[in-house]
Amino acid sequence: MKLCLRCNQYFQDEVKLCPTDRVALEFVGKDPLIGALINNRFAVDAVIGKGASGIVYKASRLIMGGKVAIKVLHACPDMDPKSLDKFHREVTALENLRHPNIVNLWESGMTVDKQPYLVMDYIEGISLSDVISSMGRLPADRIIDITQQVCHGLTEAHRQGFVHRDIKPENIVLDSSSSQDFVKLCDFGISYSAFENNLPKASQPATVSGSPAYMSPEQCRGLPLTPKSDIYSLALVVFEMFTGRRPVVANSSKEYMLKTVKEKLPLMNTVAPQLGIPEPVDLVVAKALQKNPQDRQVSAQHFADDLAAACYGSGFACIKGAKQKHIEGLQKQVGRVSERLGGQNP
């Protein structure tokens, strides 16, 4: 069975493109869980998405009512008891991660077919990837607002010892229940916990997880991760919001990873000179895209604040209403930001 991720219509395996949306269909398995009961509490209604680590379903909550999203991870035949224990331990920690800009994870367990599942908020909204696809590029003030909200969520995750390690436009959802952009950061399903960095090398994860187009150099190399890996990935997203394209162009996952590790990334003004992006703005993003994590901003919030200071201080974004007082504070930073970044060689 195949699914169109735009209209949520199902098709037979031999159909390649959605007749209505003319986009490639996603294979969702011969027997998706539609109609199944999970933990005798959730009735699966439909497939709403698919990722590298599993399929996401929309489900009805039988006792309390309302809708939830259930991500069923791909079954791993060789998943041993230790791996399952690690999965449940990390998910238990994530269940305590509560923040307005993070999709809540409510519970976890195993299906009758021994597939791990996660129960999350169901969000009515549009992904940032769809926004970029339809608009090409976003105005600077909207980019600042989205980036600030993502960084608020990341700051809380990092404070609790988690690295998201899959920051990409598809995992940033703009909640449509609000008249303004209200960001929800999704998919902590492959998040990396701080304790993994402290494991003996032989016990550390042997696989590289993430989306190659948005992975940091250290992630591509399978090295221990820190919050600065998320800063790099977010900077790639910000680059795409400003220019409408990714800084790295590649035809395969392997090519993306090789270029990320070996090639110097271009400045935004190099790929989109017609946009007139001010140098301070370009340098903030370039700093976050440094190969060495130590050369990036010290935290996600520093990255967001430096970006806002550079945009408002250079007049590249407009100051609106209630934000005036906060922006005046940020504008005072722009001189310091320019001083810090001016001498660097991105």
| Cβ within 8 Å of residue 31, ≥6 positions away | none
Angle at 4 between CA 60 and CA 107, to 5 degrees: 30
Is 80 annotated in the active site? no
Query: How far is CA 122 from each of CA 59, 67, 281, rounded to the nearest angstrom?
Result: 9, 6, 35
Distance, CA of 50 to CA of 198 (rounded, Å)? 32
3-state secondary structure of 15: coil
Contact 10, 1 (CB under 8 A): yes
Catalytic residue among 80, 113, 141, 166: 166
Amino acid at 23: V
SS3 state of residue 109: strand
Q: In what order do the strands lie in the sheet with 67-73?
A: 37-38, 42-50, 54-61, 67-73, 116-121, 105-110
Own/partner long-range contacts of 209-214 (Cβ < 8 Å, ≥24 apart):
209/52, 209/53, 209/165, 209/166, 210/165, 210/166, 211/52, 211/166, 211/168, 211/170, 212/250, 212/253, 212/254, 212/256, 212/257, 212/260, 213/168, 213/246, 213/248, 213/250, 213/256, 214/166, 214/167, 214/168
Q: How many CB atoms lie under 10 A from the CB of residue 331?
A: 16
Let me know how many helices (H) and strands (E) the chain has, helices first.
11, 14
**Whole-angstrom distance, CA of residue 260 vs CA of residue 216:** 7
Give the H/E segment covering residue 55. Answer: strand 54-61
Q: Which residues are catalytic?
A: 166
